[in-house]
């Protein structure tokens, strides 16, 4: 199904778009910082009651919201999003990346319609999980000093997901589940194969220890 959708998109010229999405997020952050009385972030947020009262732009504009934090934190987060997203876009091509992003966006919208509110945070994190699957041994500098492979950061984020799922409200649980739909659609088979192969290796090691 995904391959058919990608072939259908070849009818259209789709240039890389994620860099412009990041630039828009940065622009929203700057405008919100310069003109706080306008409440731009609030006016772009996904709020179900407001959407049902006619503010339908919120169905899309929440995707443009920048990360929270001071200027340095926001800049680093946006750069990280840019790096991960453009790397995937370059590897897959803009059509497949668009399909991945649209599925994640639609799932975020659906979770927001169910719970009343949603953000683009989990959607952007799903890009990182996809990056970790594609480049598991890529090294990043944690705190600009400690080299760490992306796959271990993905494991840490996965544990955070599990913690939030167990201890969060039901709205958070729905958002977490829906944010992983695109990941499992694209990599479900690979993830299951990785899990089963890891279990088999663990069983073989245990058998070897018992017989040695």
* 29-40 residue pLDDT tens: 999 999 999 999
**Dihedral Cα 70, 167, 108, 40, nearest 10 deg:** -30
Please name every residue paired with 117 in a beta bridge, in sequence order, or none if there are none.
47
CA dist 97 → 1, 17, 65, 105, 119 (Å):
15, 9, 20, 12, 20
> Is 0.75 surpassed by the pTM of this model?
yes
Kindly state which CATH superfamily the domain 2-211 is placed in.
Rhomboid-like (1.20.1540.10)
Residue 114: its pLDDT value, please? 93
Residue 212: its pLDDT value, please? 65
User: Domain extents for the chain?
Assistant: 2-211
Q: What is the DSSP code (8-state) at residue 17?
A: -
53-56: list long-range contacts, CB under 8 Å, 24+ apart: none
Is residue 156 pLDDT above 90, yes or no? no
Q: What is the DSSP code (8-state) at residue 14?
A: -
CA dist 183 → 38, 79, 104 (Å):
36, 22, 8
């Amino acid at each position: 199904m995904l391959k058919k959708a990608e072939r259908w998109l070849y009818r259209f010229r789709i240039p890389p778009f994620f860099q412009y999405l990041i630039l828009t997020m940065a622009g929203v952050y700057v405008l919100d910082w310069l003109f706080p009385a306008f409440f731009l972030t609030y006016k772009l947020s996904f709020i179900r009651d407001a959407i049902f009262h006619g503010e339908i732009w919120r169905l899309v504009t929440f995707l443009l919201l920048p990360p929270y934090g001071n200027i340095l934190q926001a800049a680093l987060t946006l750069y990280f999003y840019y790096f991960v997203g453009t790397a995937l876009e370059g590897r897959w091509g803009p059509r497949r990346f668009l399909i991945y992003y649209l599925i994640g966006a639609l799932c975020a919208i659906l979770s927001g319609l169910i719970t009343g509110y949603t953000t683009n945070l989990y959607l952007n994190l799903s890009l990182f999980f996809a990056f970790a699957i594609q480049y598991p041994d890529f090294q990043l500098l944690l705190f600009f000093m400690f080299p760490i492979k992306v796959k271990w950061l993905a494991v840490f984020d996965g544990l955070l997901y599990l913690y939030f799922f167990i201890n969060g409200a039901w709205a958070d649980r729905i958002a977490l589940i829906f944010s992983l739909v695109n990941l499992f659609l694209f990599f479900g088979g690979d993830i299951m194969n990785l899990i089963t192969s890891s279990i088999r290796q663990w069983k073989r090691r245990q058998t070897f220890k018992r017989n040695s």
